[in-house]
Structure 1
Amino acid sequence: MGRALGGTLAAAVLLLAACGTEAFPTSASDTGTSSRSPKASPGTPTETPSSAASPSASAESPSATPAADGPPFPESTDPQTAEPTGEWDLQLVDVRAGDHDGFDRVVLELSGTATPGWGVAWSDEAVAEGTGDVVPLAGDHVLTISASGTAMPEPGSFEVPARLGPAGAVAEVQVNGWFEGYTQVFAGVEGDERPFRVFTLTDPPRLVVDIAD
């Protein structure tokens, strides 16, 4: 796409049109590549494509751009929350985990029109929303990810429970399920608690959680 120029700049217009368009990113990309993981079966996923029609837990490809990929990491490890916007119509489509340069990433890909909210916090164990059951999970600490704005799962949405990983310091990810508008995911992390950042992407809606190395 270019700007229309007139008058004495007509020659410059022709030159720009011949050169084409230079694209600049306006938002971060989760740079994920999908792969199928069996339902409720621990282990590392294999390399096969996934789609919204056949959702799967997936491995994510590495990225070499940690700083420009999202907001700055906070200095603290305090919980982070945000409210969703729009109708609570989101469906979980895919979950990915990846080892990046400077951080490890967990991505929840969704379908729908809303922008997801979140509640993300460190804990010593994974406690399932609704039942209070402790979910066995590899790692020394658990980062509990709760995506809000999600609707009751429909046929064809992501099948839970599901496990994936490892990815860097993330020893294992457990996609636990949906409860009263919230979709819960646990990331078991090796070592100490560390800062994390949370943000959303669009087209399709995604909730991104990066855990600093």
Structure 2
Amino acid sequence: MIRRAAVCPPLLLAAALLAACGSGDRATSPSASTGEASSSSSASSAPTSAAPGTAPEETGADVPPFEGDTQPATREASADALLTVSDIRTGRQDGYDRVVLEMGGTGTPGWDVRYVDRAYSQGTGEPVEVAGEAVLQVTITGAGYPFDTGVEEWAGPDPLPGDGTQTVTEVAWDATFEGTSVAFVGTTGEAPFRVYALEDPTRVVVEVADLG
């Protein structure tokens, strides 16, 4: 995204110009996967470095060290949340892989992200095939159907292969059912992970550390 600096009176100092015109992507509730009922406890600020396959607004210069674990990570959705996942991307960072779920609608999404023994479709209970040695189930809460949100739901490819990733093998999509949307992230093992949200547009970001 190209941002144009505002035209300021010539007598303003350069420092004031920079302060008035600077902007950046806003992160909400960045957190390590702590297993607590809320993501209010943050292990670090949300990273914004670019990864292959991620959007330009997910770029930046400051990337904190990866901090996470293998425990479930959860956050409640806002009361007015009604969101549809419109895009899924994967990418590679230095020391970890990234999965981005972009969505449109209203409110703030919640999530429940955890390793599961097997992947099952939430609508039918049928097994879902996911390549990899472990399965990280990503459940987005506050989800709405496209006819409620006016946002077209992501339609694949399904499964989505990792884009230059090392730990993430693929992402299998399980669509939306009764207020939740589920994606299964295949990994090479139960690696530490962290989850956080970004705004404009709304995104839930899952990052999985390298093993070994």
Q: Same fold (TM over 0.5)?
A: yes
Question: 1:60 maps to what in 2?
Answer: 54
1:205 and 2:205 correspond: no
Question: 1:174 maps to what in 2?
Answer: 172
Poorly superposed stretches of 4+, deviation over 2 Å: 13-33, 59-69, 153-157, 159-162
Per-residue CA deviation, residues 62-121 of structure 1 (Å, 9 max, x unaligned), is: 97968438xx623x3111111011423211110001111111111110012211100000
1:110 and 2:103 correspond: yes
Identical aligned residues as a percent = 34
**Aligned pairs (5 A) from 1:94-109:** 94-109=87-102
How far, CA to CA, are the matches of 1:65 and 1:187 in structure 2? 27
Question: 1:137 maps to what in 2?
Answer: 130
Other structure's SS at 1:112 match: strand
Choose which of 153, 156, 163 in structure 1 pairs with 2:159: 163
How far, CA to CA, are the matches of 1:117 and 1:171 in structure 2? 24
Q: Structure 1 length normalisation: TM-score?
A: 0.70
Q: 1:22 to 1:131 in 2, by over 3 A?
A: same
How far, CA to CA, are the matches of 1:93 and 1:111 in structure 2? 7
Q: 1:164 to 1:19 in 2, by over 3 A?
A: closer
> What one-letter code is carried by the residue in structure 2 that aligns with 1:113?
T
Q: 1:161 to 1:107 in 2, by over 3 A?
A: same
Residues 49 and 63, structure 2, Cα contact 8 Å, conserved in 1: no
Question: 1:73 maps to what in 2?
Answer: 67
How far, CA to CA, are the matches of 1:134 and 1:91 in structure 2? 23
Q: CA RMSD in A?
A: 3.3
Q: Structure 2 length normalisation: TM-score?
A: 0.70
Per-residue CA deviation, residues 107-147 of structure 1 (Å, 9 max, x unaligned), is: 11001221110000002321111321111111000000001
Residues 167 and 209, structure 2, Cα contact 8 Å, conserved in 1: no
The total of aligned residue pairs comes to 177
Runs of 5+ consecutive residues of structure 2 not aligned to the other structure: 28-45
Per-residue CA deviation, residues 149-184 of structure 1 (Å, 9 max, x unaligned), is: 111233733226822112221111111111111110
Runs of 5+ consecutive residues of structure 1 not aligned to the other structure: 5-9, 34-58
